[in-house]
């Protein structure tokens, strides 16, 4: 029997401080990123200097404790920053999201004090980047199908395998990648069945046998750093195990819950850009002697954009507020947050794909031309429905949260 949906009463209206922070990030994005985004996209250029300026602004350290150089801020602030960077360039938005959510957060949440002191200061300051190696050629959403192995030999983990679609993994400032790998097998005490033991291993980028292969030629996100990775007898010390042995899969699942909300924030930025561009063009472009915004058919489409933007933003920041309430020990439960994260990610990312299609239609033939930013956003949006768990996975999680026995 299905369970009733439980809606948290966690407040999610952004504070005055959040809105002031939004303005500061927007000013930075419009000055340092927007004028160059089209060129970076065209040249497939990863702008290390601007990434490090983002670090100097404190964007990578928003949620990190002060002892590692962070601001000890809340998760909502990170979502605001991702939204505003993503409003001008989705590539830089995902760079920030992945650097914090997939690079810093696992070390902060599960690392030893020595690991935190070794890696976090440079990552938090934006001097270096870290990636998270989960997806493989045969193991994407099905992370239990991981084939990469890490065998403990003479006090070292020997890593062999391959990963794909890994963000921030091969740039000139990448310092390490956290890799999920089979470290053995475990027997289920209830059923007696054996299942792979998945652990997370920190692999520095200069490790012999670790290769970041040639960057992908992607449909979108041209200015982000994304590589396939190979590991051939890559050896790291035993103390590079992240967290408890055999808990890598559980760590990954918790990491993705946060990441889903952050991706939703990136989608909100995309929708805001679509609305901004559509309104400006509808006011300037004239046909039959009047602005096209006076045409009811087109005006209604832009109205739909406004609705999707508001709904996406509310769902996203509601989930972020739930995450922040959990950090205080009050408010939302883990199950409530997981459900809210999946709902926000599913709706906002699908709305972003629809929103870019609407915006491109508003621009007509010009929307098909790369000289207009709307074309870039159109290409960038699709992957939002895939990364951090596909739309199909989100629907499965939401159904399970309602008590439906979905396989």
Which CATH number characterizes residue 394's domain? Answer: 1.20.140.10
pLDDT value at residue 141: 65
Domain assignment present for 36: yes
Round the average pLDDT of the chain to a whole number and report it. 93
pLDDT value at residue 194: 83
Question: Per-residue pLDDT averaged across 227-239, rounded?
Answer: 98
Domain with 102 in it? 16-128
- Residues 257 and 381 placed together within one structural domain of the fold: yes
| Alpha carbon distance 407, 404 (integer Å) | 9
Domain end residue (candidates: 245, 263, 293): 245
pLDDT value at residue 187: 80
pLDDT value at residue 352: 98
Looking at per-residue pLDDT, the higher value among 192 and 256 belongs to 256
- Residues 339 and 382 placed together within one structural domain of the fold: yes
Domain count for the chain, please give it.
3
Question: Per-residue pLDDT averaged across 143-170, rounded?
Answer: 94
- Residues 235 and 320 placed together within one structural domain of the fold: no
pLDDT of 263 > 80? The answer is: yes
- Over the stretch 98-109, which tens digit does the pLDDT of each residue have? 999 999 999 999
Domain assignment present for 2: no
- Residues 236 and 257 placed together within one structural domain of the fold: no
Q: How far is CA 117 from CA 56, 113, 114, 120, 179, in A?
A: 19, 6, 5, 6, 19
pLDDT of 362 > 70? The answer is: yes
- Residues 263 and 377 placed together within one structural domain of the fold: yes
Those residues with Cβ within 8 angstroms of residue 239's Cβ, 6 or more apart along the chain or in another chain: 112, 114, 115
Q: Which residues does the annotation mark as catalytic?
A: 388
Domain end residue (candidates: 69, 104, 128): 128
- Over the stretch 378-399, which tens digit does the pLDDT of each residue have? 999 999 999 999 999 999 999 9
Go through the chain and tell me how many residues it has: 407
Start-to-end CA span in the chain (Å):
16
pLDDT value at residue 181: 96
Domain assignment present for 6: no
- Residues 254 and 240 placed together within one structural domain of the fold: no
- Residues 383 and 349 placed together within one structural domain of the fold: yes
For residues 119-132, one letter each, b for 16 or more C-beta atoms within 10 angstroms of the residue's C-beta and e for the rest, the string is: bbbbbbbbbbbbbb
- 219, 379 in Cβ contact below 8 A? yes
Question: Per-residue pLDDT averaged across 73-99, rounded?
Answer: 97
Q: How far is CA 31 from CA 79, 100, 269, 369, in A?
A: 20, 23, 17, 24
pLDDT of 10 > 80? The answer is: no
Domain end residue (candidates: 105, 128, 151): 128
Tokens 């990448």 correspond to what residue? 174
């Amino acid at each position: 029997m299905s369970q009733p949906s439980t809606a948290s009463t966690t407040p999610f209206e952004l504070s005055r401080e959040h809105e002031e922070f939004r303005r500061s990030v927007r000013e930075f994005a419009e000055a340092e990123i927007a004028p160059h985004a089209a060129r970076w996209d065209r040249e497939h250029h990863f702008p290390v200097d601007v990434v490090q300026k983002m670090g100097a602004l404190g964007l990578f350290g928003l949620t990190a404790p002060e002892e590692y150089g962070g601001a000890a801020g809340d998760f909502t602030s990170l979502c605001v920053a991702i939204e505003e960077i993503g409003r001008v360039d989705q590539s830089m938005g995902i760079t920030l999201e992945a650097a914090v959510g997939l690079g810093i957060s696992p070390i902060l949440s599960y690392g030893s004090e020595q690991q935190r002191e070794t890696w976090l200061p440079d990552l938090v300051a934006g001097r270096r980047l870290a990636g998270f190696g989960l997806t493989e050629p045969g193991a994407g959403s099905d992370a239990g199908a991981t084939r990469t192995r890490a065998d403990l030999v003479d006090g070292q983990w020997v890593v062999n395998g391959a990963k794909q679609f890994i963000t921030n993994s091969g740039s000139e400032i990448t310092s390490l990648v956290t890799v999920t790998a089979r470290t053995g097998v475990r027997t289920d005490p209830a059923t007696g069945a054996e299942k792979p033991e998945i652990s997370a291993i920190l692999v520095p980028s200069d490790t012999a046998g670790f290769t970041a292969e040639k960057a992908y030629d992607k449909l979108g996100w041209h200015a982000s750093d994304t590589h396939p990775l190979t590991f051939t007898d890559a050896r790291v010390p035993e103390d590079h195990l992240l967290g408890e042995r055999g808990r890598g899969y559980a760590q990954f699942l918790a990491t993705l819950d946060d990441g889903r909300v952050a991706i939703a924030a990136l989608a909100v930025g995309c929708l805001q850009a679509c609305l901004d561009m559509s309104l400006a063009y509808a006011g300037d472009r004239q046909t039959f002697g009047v602005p096209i915004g006076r045409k009811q058919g087109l005006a209604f489409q832009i109205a739909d954009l406004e609705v999707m933007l508001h709904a996406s933003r509310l769902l996203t920041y509601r989930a972020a507020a739930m995450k922040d309430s959990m950090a205080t020990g009050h408010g939302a439960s883990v199950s409530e947050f997981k459900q809210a994260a999946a709902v926000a990610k599913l709706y906002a990312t699908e709305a972003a794909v629809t929103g870019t299609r609407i915006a491109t239609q508003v621009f007509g033939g010009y929307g098909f031309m790369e000289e207009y930013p709307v074309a870039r956003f159109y290409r960038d949006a699709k992957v939002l429905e895939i990364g951090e768990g596909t739309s199909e996975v989100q629907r499965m999680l939401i159904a399970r949260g309602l008590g439906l026995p979905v396989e």
